[in-house]
Amino acid sequence: DTGGSVLLPCYCADLHTKLQTGLTWKYKTKGDEWEVISSESGQYRDRVQLVNGQSPGNLSLLISHLTEEDGGVYQCYVLGVGHVYLTLTVKGCLLVNRSESLRITAYTGGSVLLPCYCTDLHTKPQTFTWKYKTKGDEWEEISSGSGQYRDRVQLVNGHSPGNLSLLISHLTEEDRGLYQCYVLGVGHVYITLTVKGK
């Protein structure tokens, strides 16, 4: 799952075998080339480590803080010995109504649920935020701790981590406008809220 970690297994038949040199982990780039994985630079910076601890012949690679871009083909390559190919699939949030614009009407004094959710309600996106468009035409993050929405907003994801919907209560006419549910690396859903007087 995105945000999680995964162990890519690779080991010698005899786990006591010591390799002096010659182990490389590679991944296939979008341009179909093999690139060496490094914890010092590039896409895997600070996210990969060899976990051979107890067994020198255990060449497995641990990748953490997974993103959807990590999905693909990997290769554990040992010079003069051979290689193992692995295909990694990273499951993550796919937004329902992604890039679409929804229209919702609610009433002053009431509350409204702004819908936003992943196709698989069990997947939890790494990072998501709710924003609203200010009169100055800028996107501002909605917070229950301060500002216009103070103490009036709450996430309702209780039982489903993939339900990112936002509940706004004690609606005022000022709340009408454009909202955005933004999921890092995945996309966004726009919602236009109309607030009518009772």
Q: How far is the CB of 62 from ligand NAG (least distance, A)?
A: 7
Question: Which residues make Cβ contacts (< 8 Å) with residue 15, sequence separation at least 6?
Answer: 55, 56, 57, 58
Closer of 79 and 113 to ligand NAG (Cβ): 113
Q: Which residues bind ligand NAG (CB under 6 A)?
A: 7, 11, 15, 51, 53, 55, 58, 60, 113, 117, 121, 156, 160, 163, 165
Q: Quick check: 30 and 70 in contact, CB under 8 A? A: no
Q: How far is the CB of 138 from ligand NAG (least distance, A)?
A: 28
Grouping H, G, I as helix, E, B as strand and the rest as coil, residue 43 is helix
Q: How far is the CB of 17 from ligand NAG (least distance, A)?
A: 12
Closer of 64 and 163 to ligand NAG (Cβ): 163
Closer of 10 and 37 to ligand NAG (Cβ): 10
Element at 181 (helix H, strand E): strand 177-183
Closer of 28 and 157 to ligand NAG (Cβ): 157
Name the phi and psi angles at 141, rounded to 5: -75, 140
Q: Quick check: 29 and 77 in contact, CB under 8 A? A: no
Closer of 28 and 94 to ligand NAG (Cβ): 94
Q: How far is the CB of 70 from ligand NAG (least distance, A)?
A: 19
Q: How far is the CB of 119 from ligand NAG (least distance, A)?
A: 10
Question: Which residues make Cβ contacts (< 8 Å) with residue 32, sequence separation at least 6?
Answer: none
Question: Which residues make Cβ contacts (< 8 Å) with residue 84, sequence separation at least 6?
Answer: 10, 75, 76
